[in-house]
Structure 1
Amino acid sequence: MTLSNSVFQSIRNWDNENFLHPWEGMAYLGQNERTFAESGLGVHVVTEDGKRLIDGPAGMWCIQLGYGNTEIADAMAQQAKEMAYFSPFNNANSTPARLAHEIAKRTPGDLNHVFFTTGGSTAVDSALRFVQFRNNLLGKPEKKIVISRQKAYHGSTYLAASVSGKERDKGWLDQASHLTRFLPNVNPYTRRTDQTVDDFLDEKIADLENMILQAGADKVAAFIAEPILCSGGVIVPPLGYHQRCLEICRKYDVLYISDEVVTGFGRLGHWFASEDVFGIQPDIITCAKGMTSGYIPMGACIISERLIADVSGDNAQNATFSNGFTYSGHPVSAAAGLKTIEIMERDGILEHVRAITPLFEERLQALADLPLVGDARGMGLVGCVECVADTEADNLLDLDKSVGAMIDHHCQENGLILRPIINMCVFSPPLIITEGELNEMFDILEKGIRLATDDLTRQGVFNA
């Protein structure tokens, strides 16, 4: 919808005065000039002034099937007409029951128990609470520590935020620090210049084992890991990392939680990346985002038969897993999830992602040759370009933020939305993106980086 200037200015004022956004920079509260995405079709969104932009991040990693998909919208509307809500505490409904079954058919190994949540953060919180619950029933109340990584992001609810390792997100908020331990960055780009990738990998595996031994295997409950550390800058661990981490976990009776909130439902060309891409069968998988193609909130914590058996039936001790949400298994969300799965299978979306990935990776790696780019990395349809202007600057953080903002500005001027994370440009387009649209996206991104390079050169903070 295109709004008149007078009407839109009132709405912008209301947005600044009344809508407290996620990750709000409080110093600029009420002064933001955000872009309004008012409509969308396919891989494009349309802004308040009618400008058409490729949605590089697919919303927040989630618009798998693009905008304006009437099949998903119609399925949601029909479900809302028939049964808009049921209490998951007291009743059941066929739509989420069917979705749970369809998800369980696609998970690795014996991960057959689907606990529905409201999103990724509550999925991770539920996974961690289940781990605590299980250990309490097993008579291991001290086995509660969760190991994570620097740069990992697992959500913004209390426990999920506590196991997130993005240091700049943790400065002003409390967390359950007594329950967490963090391992060093697993990004191969950060390794020493004299260190091979294989040696770096050995070091990262040793980090995990040493942390378990330091904390005490009887105290460590779980290791939580994203297949790719997406919000941390699309960090792809070295080949074999996840398999070797799982071996360490099995050695010390530590559960492995695979956080597939981003990578699940097609982002890497498979329903789930844990087994099909990285060769592991975790104990718990968390997912959200793409499971409804972003059309309505929903998440899930998927738990293995082995873990459930420890706390059910004759082992239940009359315990109740007292964790849940008013909107667990919401039927309208479940209808969106079922329709998303149906469309992805009918239209061969997973196959399309695998087919277009080589072009994506080719165009991504070509950006590494640009003078401003320090690293270009990614996998499947998720990528990151990390830019480096002046490593000797006194105000390095401010400079890095300005670099990301410059590239974002130039890209948006030329028809592309990015997700700037300090000096990194992150993108994960809708899975339906065509070859032509993908080339256009990278053409604009390259132009944006070149224009930002010119800006920095004129400012005297970069010398190509």
Structure 2
Amino acid sequence: MNVPQILTNATPWTLDHDHAVHPWVNFGAFERDGSLVLTRGEGCHVWDAAGTRYFDAIGGMWCTNVGLGRAEMAQAMADQAMKLAYTNYFCDVTSDTTALLAGKLAALAPGDLNRVFFTTGGSTAVETAIRTVAYYHHCKGNPQKTGIVARENSYHGSTYLTQSVGKRNGDRVEEFRYQSEGIYHLSSPYLYRRPAHLTEAQFCDQLIAEFEALIAREGADRIGGFIAEPIQASGGIIVPPAGYLQRMWEVCQRHDILFIADEVVTSFGRLGHWFASWDEFGVMPDMIATAKGLTSGYVPLGALLLSDRIWAVMAEGGQRWFTTGFTYSGHPVSCAVALKNIEIMEREDLLGNAARVGAYFETRLAELSALPLVGDVRGRKLMLCVESVADKESKALLPDEANESKRISATAEAMGLMVRPLGHLNVMSPALTITEGQVDFVVETLGKAIARVTDDLVREGYRLG
């Protein structure tokens, strides 16, 4: 067989550097440094092309919940591919595996969220949810009730519509275009950076009042849905004030506004529950978008869970068509992997482990608050971050050129630990299999990395309060 010239004497690093286009790539840094090439994974660890082992405290991208290298996950793929690798899922065809997963998700979901629309991932699940808002209200005789309310610092996906609805710092660049009509953004429930004169309860009151004011200004007859991550993930691990989500849900109920829970990150064990909306925050959403931990990242799959109430309105009369979907909706191989993933989580009590070890992680990570560079340590269970500041009292940030979070992650990486730099944060979302001993390694290594970067910043002339 003739080897293409492009592959002759090429390494994975050079092939990636010369031909791959990565999501959220910074062109200058990529051209200069290229990518870290990973070749193997087992449990919470990954290995690069040079054979160096790292503890992956990022969990891939919030998703390797059952850990890497599971033989039974690979076997589930192979078995399903041999039995039925693909079937059309449009209209009135399914596979037995896809049907089993739909039933399993309905059984795990809270309340009457008994209808499942399968997608290819989180972005497509959220996009479908947003489109369903308009569809549902049109079916009810309110075709103008299409507005979507989201929050600052939110991330809901990277399709045109989901990135327009999301509004995370750094995501909006002038080279791309975004939809603005019919999309509204409220303040983020960013408790650490609330106005200094407000208590947590007063801050919560202010956020609710802002939502009510928006509805009064724009008209409840024009606002169809509110979308919220229970904990804002990529926007900064923002845990809302006590009672905030419940009160926002109550506002939605009063004004016939559908509550969409974006649980692409928080579902399937990240907070110790199948779904966090009800079990962690006491909110019964109208829709839940999920992905990531649904298959633990082994294959792509997303899902939108709909309430029976929404289904009944859309299906009334039997004449309408739900004209959205994807070639790989309900893919039988992906669904087989999801079923095996759930089986492993149930058998090994990974939800319980996430809750127990997650609580230990919260306690240990809080110890880093004493470091001069650390302004806030926050999150819940296995969804945590450290926010760096120049001054603890004023909470002032370092200038962007200090690039401290990337420097911290690079320093940690050199010590065998992978954490994710996001703005002025270092984020952790490890596999649900993590042990207390591994938590100790993460916290102690991260602490050393922060201390080293702090010393470097001081030597370079940065003032730390």
| Structure 1 length-normalised TM | 0.95
* Counterpart amino acid of residue 433 in structure 2: I
- Shift of the 395–463 alpha-carbon distance from structure 1 to 2, 3 Å rule, reads closer
Corresponding residue of 1:190: 193
CA distance in 2 between partners of 1:160 and 1:22 (Å): 15
Corresponding residue of 1:226: 229
- Shift of the 211–7 alpha-carbon distance from structure 1 to 2, 3 Å rule, reads farther
CA distance in 2 between partners of 1:18 and 1:410 (Å): 28
2:168 is equivalent to residue 171 of structure 1: no
SS at match of 2:281: coil
* Counterpart amino acid of residue 426 in structure 1: V
CA distance in 2 between partners of 1:212 and 1:40 (Å): 49
Q: How far is the alpha carbon of 1:434 from its aligned partner?
A: 1.0
CA distance in 2 between partners of 1:34 and 1:8 (Å): 18
CA deviation profile, 1:141-173 (whole Å, cap 9, x unmatched):
211110000001000012111110114211232
Q: How far is the alpha carbon of 1:174 from its aligned partner?
A: 1.5
CA distance in 1 between partners of 2:254 and 2:9 (Å): 60
Q: Which moved more, 1:416-425 or 1:128-137?
A: 128-137
CA distance in 2 between partners of 1:413 and 1:232 (Å): 26
CA distance in 2 between partners of 1:403 and 1:129 (Å): 39
* Counterpart amino acid of residue 410 in structure 2: H
2:173 is equivalent to residue 159 of structure 1: no
CA deviation profile, 1:204-247 (whole Å, cap 9, x unmatched):
11111111111110000000000000000100001111100000
Corresponding residue of 1:54: 55
SS at match of 1:238: coil
Q: How far is the alpha carbon of 1:350 from its aligned partner?
A: 0.7
Corresponding residue of 1:322: 323
CA distance in 2 between partners of 1:70 and 1:296 (Å): 14
Q: How far is the alpha carbon of 1:28 from its aligned partner?
A: 4.2
1:238-317 → structure 2 map (5 Å cutoff)? 238-314=241-317, 316=318
- Shift of the 129–272 alpha-carbon distance from structure 1 to 2, 3 Å rule, reads same
Q: Which moved more, 1:335-344 or 1:127-136?
A: 127-136
CA distance in 2 between partners of 1:31 and 1:88 (Å): 44
2:27 is equivalent to residue 26 of structure 1: yes
Corresponding residue of 1:364: 365
CA deviation profile, 1:174-228 (whole Å, cap 9, x unmatched):
2221021001121111112221111111111111111111111000000000000
- Picking from 142, 145, 148, the partner of 1:143 is 145
CA distance in 1 between partners of 2:144 and 2:104 (Å): 36
Corresponding residue of 2:75: 74
- Shift of the 313–141 alpha-carbon distance from structure 1 to 2, 3 Å rule, reads closer
Alignment check: 8 A CA contact 2:117 2:304 kept: yes
CA distance in 1 between partners of 2:316 and 2:267 (Å): 31
1:318-397 → structure 2 map (5 Å cutoff)? 318-389=319-390, 396-397=399-400
SS at match of 1:115: strand
CA distance in 2 between partners of 1:139 and 1:353 (Å): 44
Q: How far is the alpha carbon of 1:408 from its aligned partner?
A: 0.7
- Shift of the 249–52 alpha-carbon distance from structure 1 to 2, 3 Å rule, reads same
CA deviation profile, 1:71-110 (whole Å, cap 9, x unmatched):
1111011101111100001521000110010010011110
CA distance in 2 between partners of 1:32 and 1:179 (Å): 41
Q: How far is the alpha carbon of 1:138 from its aligned partner?
A: 2.1
Corresponding residue of 2:453: 452
Q: How far is the alpha carbon of 1:8 from its aligned partner?
A: 8.8
SS at match of 2:33: coil
Q: How far is the alpha carbon of 1:33 from its aligned partner?
A: 2.8
CA distance in 2 between partners of 1:233 and 1:392 (Å): 15
SS at match of 2:128: helix
Q: How far is the alpha carbon of 1:395 from its aligned partner?
A: 8.2
* Counterpart amino acid of residue 159 in structure 2: T
- Shift of the 51–29 alpha-carbon distance from structure 1 to 2, 3 Å rule, reads closer
Corresponding residue of 2:238: 235
CA distance in 2 between partners of 1:240 and 1:457 (Å): 41
CA distance in 1 between partners of 2:77 and 2:188 (Å): 41
How many residues are aligned here? 455
Corresponding residue of 1:116: 118
CA distance in 2 between partners of 1:194 and 1:8 (Å): 63
Q: How far is the alpha carbon of 1:339 from its aligned partner?
A: 0.3
CA distance in 1 between partners of 2:395 and 2:332 (Å): 54
CA distance in 1 between partners of 2:463 and 2:452 (Å): 13
* Counterpart amino acid of residue 113 in structure 1: R
Q: How far is the alpha carbon of 1:398 from its aligned partner?
A: 2.3
Q: How far is the alpha carbon of 1:393 from its aligned partner?
A: 9.3
Give 5+ residue unaligned stretches, structure 2. Answer: 1-6
CA distance in 2 between partners of 1:463 and 1:128 (Å): 44
SS at match of 2:170: helix
* Counterpart amino acid of residue 88 in structure 1: Y
CA distance in 2 between partners of 1:299 and 1:395 (Å): 37
* Counterpart amino acid of residue 81 in structure 1: M
Alignment check: 8 A CA contact 2:149 2:186 kept: yes
Corresponding residue of 2:46: 45
Corresponding residue of 1:3: none
Alignment check: 8 A CA contact 1:453 1:462 kept: no
Corresponding residue of 2:3: none
Identical pairs, percent: 44
CA distance in 2 between partners of 1:344 and 1:56 (Å): 19
Q: How far is the alpha carbon of 1:27 from its aligned partner?
A: 3.9
Q: How far is the alpha carbon of 1:140 from its aligned partner?
A: 1.4
- Shift of the 195–108 alpha-carbon distance from structure 1 to 2, 3 Å rule, reads same
Corresponding residue of 2:102: 100
Q: How far is the alpha carbon of 1:462 from its aligned partner?
A: 3.2
Alignment check: 8 A CA contact 1:183 1:207 kept: yes
CA distance in 1 between partners of 2:27 and 2:144 (Å): 39
CA distance in 2 between partners of 1:28 and 1:59 (Å): 21
| Structure 2 length-normalised TM | 0.95
Alignment check: 8 A CA contact 1:130 1:321 kept: no
Alignment check: 8 A CA contact 1:186 1:235 kept: yes
Q: How far is the alpha carbon of 1:385 from its aligned partner?
A: 0.3
Alignment check: 8 A CA contact 2:16 2:35 kept: no
